[in-house]
Every structure is written in structure tokens, then in C-alpha cells.
Structure 1
């Protein structure tokens, strides 16, 4: 679903800076409160199980964002959706910081989840349009900035907690600063949205309704495939990052410090792969990079799950991170180029990823609670996910 490459517009460089900043901000927001969840739990005086339930319920709101994002973008355009969504998204961070009851926390989490889908879709659409007009694509680097934002946000949150900065002060100051950044972002965004026809050419906005996905069975099937692909990709990525430390601590008896190296290994590999992915796509082509990446990912995940030595597991997670790195940006780019209503493809993509975010931890945790090792439990999720991902991607391409 690649359209013709055209020359960058005069405002593209400024728009690229704005979109890149928003990618970084989105990663920063998510990571700003996660390291301080134990404090949030203690302040509200709830159990860890209740906190987990609130996090799950808040994530479900993201499905509402997935269902509404296509129509909102069609009605108001990506620029307005991104700006309004980002303002509320930043506000939700303050809501979480000020929450003193479970219901207020749930409201903040649900608002964050819903707005994150809207902003995520709008910024990926603008990023894809800008990328398509450049000689070297930028989608992988944009997602690399999101990954970098999560690292920075997590480090700042951890250091703030260690320095004795209160949760409310930390998140309110962060929200205030990020609100100023949103003002900067909004001033440089693209003001005119692109619309893609069935043949990949530009589509007159007035004809978008005539190509509505709801009226084309083939398009509905493609939307389902996009959702499946994103869910499988998230399952591979999430399982490898969230359970990497458990793989070393539970299966090898590694100390907390040593076990954390597995998580760091995967994160470093993925972030490095995203910053180098655009060069690889420009040099070898998107399809070849995709084919090599998925093959490397499968081998690395098998080794990470069953290797008999800690150092082999760590190396395997680095390689798995490199392999996974370019998959999600490519899916986002494909979804952004979905013909017809802008945002329809990204709505399906985010729906699939949100469902995977809810289901994957429960499945891996349930399997790990049995006689299976953590490595075997992760393999039961990641290997089938990789296989389905390949099949679905090929089907979508056809």
C-alpha cells in the first residue's frame, strides 16, 4: 500500500520536528508514572491485585479510542485531533498524580488510555505522510524516539522518587512542562491531511466517504489482518521486555541486578534497531528488511527461551530487540496508508495491540505459574505469535 513518492512540502521539516517531538513526549508520559505505581498503590491504600485490575480496566478504554479515531480524524483532521488529544493526555498525567481514590485513579488511567490511542494514530499518520515524501524514510526513527522517551521518563521518575520528590509534585510539574511542549508541537504540524485511494494515489477528501471501509468486504478483511498483525507484534515485544528479567531470575537464580540486564539488553537492541532501521530500509528495501527481521526474531526468541546459559539469553535478547525493532513501525506505516478514511487502519491496529496488551500478561503469567519454566512460558506465546505474524503479513500483502 505504498503511494507515489512526492517532493517534501515547504513545511515538512518543521512538521517532522513537531511529530518527532510528540513521539518522544508520548513515550515520556507513559513512563513518567509507571515506576511510581507502588507509591500510587500505597497512597490510595489498595492492594496490588486491585491496582492490577484498575490498570487493566483503564487499558480497556483504549478500545473506545480505537473505535472512534477514524471518524474523529475524518471529521476534524489529524492536526486538531493530535493537539486536543495531547492536551487531555497531558492532563490525565496530572489526574493520576492527584488521584486519592480508586475511582479517580481509574478515571485518569482510562482518559490516558483513550487519548493515547487518538494521539498515537494522528502522529503516526502525519509521520507516515512526511516519511513518504522523503528520500530516506523516518518511521523507524520516530518510533525510536518513542522508545527513548520511555527510557528518559523512567529514569526521571526513578530519580525523582529517590530524591524524595512527591508523586504529586513530580507529575504536576511534568504535566505543566509537557503542556508547553504540546503548544510547540501544534504550531508545526501538517495542516492538510492526505487521503489514499485504492490504487495508492491521492484521493479527494470529498470522495473518502465513497470508499468507506465499512462498504468493502475486502477492506474489512484487511483491517482484521492489521489488528492481528499488531497484536502478534505487541505479544512478541511485550513478552520479551516484561518477562526478560524473570527469565534470568526464576530460571537461573540470577540476582535482581543481573536479571535486569536481560530487560536492558532487549530495550537497547530494539532502540538501536529503530534508529538504524530507516537506513536499512533505504538501502535494502522495506520487504527485505522485514523478511530478515522476522527470521532473526524467531531464532533469537527460541534461543532466549531455551538457552542453557545466562550470557546466551542476554545476547539473544539483544538480537531479538534488533529483529522486533522495525516490525511495529512498518505495520504503523502500512496502516497509515490504508485507503479510504484516514485513521481506519490505525484504529484496527490499535484495537489489536490493546487486546494483546490485556491478554498477553495473563497468559504468560498463568503458564509461568505452572511447572513450566519462564522460558518455556514465553516461548508458548512468542513463537506462535511470530508464526501468525508471518502468515498474516503475507496474507495482507496478497
Structure 2
């Protein structure tokens, strides 16, 4: 179905997460099965039942910007700039040779600057609302990561921020892919960012009974395990530099992979719970395969949404079995959230980077912490150790509150 469409390739990847502060470091640690989850240090969690999160460690924004600029940007925006800067440098783009109106940005965030909202509200209650910072609004609004990235890179084309909860950055990459494929741009910086390991965010998800209360970090984020009880909050960012194929070839860019297909659907079912039969997610995966013009048997690896919540993992497994049928037995579907925790609106972008890297090295990253098999999640998940794969295509799934489903199909360079 895409034979007469423009091809879209990946020429740069940048990211940071609880398992690394660059895309290459993330991938090396993912292959090793490194656990990035530990005790919460962003605030005093001693009185909370939730003790663990996946925090980005040793992040220094002064390596990218002045201290004054860093003070004017919230952490989620700093993350986005860091990831985009890495992807841009890797791509080798020279803006003096590009039409900036043909270069765009689609960087999402599920929640945005919640840390700033909490901080300024607390200040207002103590000192009066007239003391709220004049930077409160620009620091907290969700689109600022995209806007500041565009300013940083000099990209003057379409600049958008797509918000679909935990599917946000997968949708952002997919929409940017179609935007280039359909001729509206040559280059798009696409992905997502999130940093909301805050008292209010943790309390909100905890009150929904969505978070793991595990006392052992190694058994906190355990997708597909029968004893799974919720997800672990994470933070980070991922940005892919997407580029029209002929444009990339003409300038001699190194091609890291290709985006081949994108699907998006909605369960139209419940505010937070997915359809138990996985039919909404199945429709999304099927759309992505048809958009790529390939059959289910062409996929050898799936990076699962795999949050570690009882309903999500069971529903996603059913969806995969619906779409892939007998080929399910030949698939590996692992969840890197077992290492990073759930990065909410940034998860799809970080997982896209890991999926493209898996295709490059022909290695499926593991699902760590896995001990107790669940018959309702009976798909090979590379338990506790990376596994070799032989495939040209891989899929990455993201599912969000509101019933949002998004899937991407990648092709090996």
C-alpha cells in the first residue's frame, strides 16, 4: 500500500532514561538487562507506600545550556532538548543547507511540567498567588518541549505536541512519519519526553491502584509475570530524526533504520481500562502492518507496551495472538519497561529507539525480573536474558489511558 509513497528513514536517535543518558548507553544497558529502578530521590517518599521509581541519574543540563536558560526550563523540556540535540548531531544535518520550513518537530508529553505546577501552587498557598513566577505557564505547558526544540534546532516547519497519554510519543513518531511520507516535510524531529516523578503524580496513580507497591526493586516492574501488580513510574525522553529517504541519501547520511508502518485506534471503552479481549490494540497492530505493506509473519520482534499491570499485559497478549495467529509462536515480545519503568508520554519514543537498535544488532532485549509464568501471557518474552533474532521487521506498541492505541513498524537498515 506504500509503494507509491515516499520512504522515511531514521538518521539520528537521541535519548535518556533510567538505563542511560544517551541512546547508545540505553541500548548497551538494555542488552545487559540493567535495572534502572531504585528508591525515589526526587522527594522524600518515606511516608508513601510507593518507594521506587525509574529516575534519570546524573543528568546535567549545563552541558547543553547556560544555568540561566536551565532555570527557565522545566526538567521535561530539558530532557527533550538533550535527546533532540543528540539525534540532530548524529544525523549530521547542516541547517545552512536545509530549508527550515521543510524541517518540523512533533515532540509529545503526556503530562508536561507537573513538577512546576506543584511547586508554584505550593508557593502561592504560602506567599499569595501574586507571587507565582512569570515563567510558571511557559515552563509547565506541555507543548513547550516541542517549541524549545524547534528554537534550538532552527526548525521552522510544523511544530506540534500530540498528547495521547502513554501512547503520545508513538503517535508523534507515526504522525511525523506520515507527514514526511505524504510530502509535507523532508525532516522531522519526533518523539516524547516526561518527568513527573512528583508527590502528586505518584499519589494520583497510586490512588488508582495502578502502581506497584513491591518492596524489592527487582520485583517491582515485572511485565507478563503472574505476580505483577502495577507499573513503576519512570522518566526520560527519546527523539528520532526522521528524514525522507532520497534527501538522506543525497547528503550521504548514515541510515539507522526505516519507519514502514503506523497504526492508531481507540478502544472507545473506558477511561483507564483497556478492552480485555485486546480487540482495540489488535486493530491498531493490523493497521500498522497494512500501512507497512507486510504480513504478520514478517515481524520477528515486538517491543511490548508491557506495563506490568494485570489487565494491560493480558489484553496485549490477546491482541498479539489475534493478529499474529500461528506466527505468535515464532515471535519474541519483550518489555523494556521491566528495566526503565513506565516513562508515560516518553515511553514509546525510548522504546522505538530500543526497537531500531534491536533490529540493527539482531538482538531482542530481555524482560527482566521475570519469575512466575502467567498462562494468560504465554508469549516468548526473552526472560531475564537478551536473545538473538533474525528479522527484517519489528513492531513497537503503546497503549494509553482513554483507550489510545498506537503501533509502529520498523525495518532494518
User: Do Structure 1 and Structure 2 share a fold, with TM-score over 0.5?
Assistant: no
Greater fraction of residues in strand: 2
Greater fraction of residues in helix: 1
TM-score of the aligned structures, taking structure 1 as reference length: 0.31
TM-score of the aligned structures, taking structure 2 as reference length: 0.30
